[in-house]
């Protein structure tokens, strides 16, 4: 028609038509392994949130139910992040070596990064909890031994008073305390939380034959050790006891103070053995 202008080209498209600004994201360009990696990562994050939320909302759930539920979910979370990590690495390799210009490397990197962060936090937390439990159990064991150490220390002082101020003979100190003190029995020489041994304490061998009044107050009198009846020793025996006690050994000083010797050096205590 006259007055009209046909601006269509041979393809049938109008030349005056503006190109669309809408960007279409083609998920077909992303490898299936990459999408699965993201899916397992999200699954792991959601399950972690479920555990945390459950601990906040229902802290008094039955211990048995809570134990098996948490254990099951925990292993599913670990498996999810492990799968996400492996699939993320596979996705990067597929994208790198494929000639079809695949996309999604950033998704694979997210899955790998989140998986590594999760495992780092998980094992750090697990180590911290285990260490806290070990220290707690050591404190319970030490607390149980403290009362018996005080009893033995009092009996040694009474023995010295009745023997011109002299301390018991080192290789007979257990027998002598039982013989001269009715309140001391064989159970007094044991730590209630130690399953083995007839005696869980040792006498400082450097004090044998000395007068109690001539020994400095900060000298070790008795200490926890692994051995038999009438056990004596010094710093060497203390070191030999370390593998059997993870954190701390109790020491009874001459002045009656019960102190703690930490293998990790937390307290910085340097026991005095020789007067």
pLDDT means per 10 residues, the chain with 275 residues, are 49 51 54 85 83 64 57 82 89 80 82 87 80 72 80 92 91 91 87 75 90 90 84 81 61 86 57 82
State residue 71's pLDDT score. Answer: 75
* Cβ atoms of residues 78 and 41 within 8 Å: no
Other CB atoms within a 10 A radius of the CB of residue 240 amount to: 13
Query: What are the tokens at 10?
Result: 């041979």
State residue 246's pLDDT score. Answer: 52
Other CB atoms within a 10 A radius of the CB of residue 75 amount to: 10
Cα separation of 139 and 144, whole Å?
9
The pTM for the full model equals 0.54
- Half-sphere exposure in the Cβ direction for 113 (13 Å, CA): 6
State residue 241's pLDDT score. Answer: 61
- Kindly report the backbone phi and psi dihedral angles of residue 36, in degrees, each rounded to the nearest multiple of 5, phi listed first: -65, -40
State residue 226's pLDDT score. Answer: 74
State residue 266's pLDDT score. Answer: 41
Residues 79-83: contacts with CB under 8 Å, at least 24 apart: 80/40, 80/41, 80/43, 80/44, 80/47, 81/40, 81/41, 81/44, 81/114, 81/115, 81/118, 81/119, 82/115, 83/36, 83/37, 83/40
State residue 268's pLDDT score. Answer: 46
State residue 17's pLDDT score. Answer: 53
């Amino acid at each position: 028609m006259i007055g009209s202008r046909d601006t269509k080209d041979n393809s049938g498209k109008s030349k005056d038509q503006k190109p669309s600004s809408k960007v279409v994201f083609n998920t077909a360009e992303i490898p299936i392994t990459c999408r699965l990696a993201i899916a397992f990562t999200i699954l792991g994050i959601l399950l972690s949130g479920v555990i945390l939320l459950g601990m906040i909302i229902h802290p008094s759930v039955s211990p048995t139910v809570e134990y098996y539920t948490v254990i099951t979910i925990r292993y599913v979370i670990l498996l999810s992040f492990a799968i996400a990590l492996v699939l993320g690495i596979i996705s990067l390799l597929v994208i790198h070596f494929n000639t079809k210009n695949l996309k999604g490397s950033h998704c694979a990197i997210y899955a790998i990064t989140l998986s590594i962060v999760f495992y780092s936090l998980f094992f750090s937390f697990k180590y911290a909890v285990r260490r806290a439990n070990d220290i707690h159990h050591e404190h319970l064991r030490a607390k149980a031994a403290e009362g018996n150490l005080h009893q033995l220390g009092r009996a040694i002082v009474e023995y010295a008073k009745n023997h011109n101020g002299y301390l018991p003979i080192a290789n007979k100190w257990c027998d002598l305390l039982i013989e001269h003190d009715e309140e001391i029995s064989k159970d007094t020489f044991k730590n209630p939380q130690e399953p083995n041994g007839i005696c869980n304490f040792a006498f400082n061998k450097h004090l044998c034959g000395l007068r109690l009044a001539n020994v400095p107050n900060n000298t070790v009198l008795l200490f926890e050790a692994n051995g038999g009846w009438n056990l004596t020793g010094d710093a060497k025996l203390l070191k030999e006891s370390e593998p059997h006690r993870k954190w701390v050994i109790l020491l009874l000083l001459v002045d009656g103070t019960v102190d703690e010797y930490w293998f990790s050096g937390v307290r910085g205590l340097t026991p005095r053995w020789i007067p």
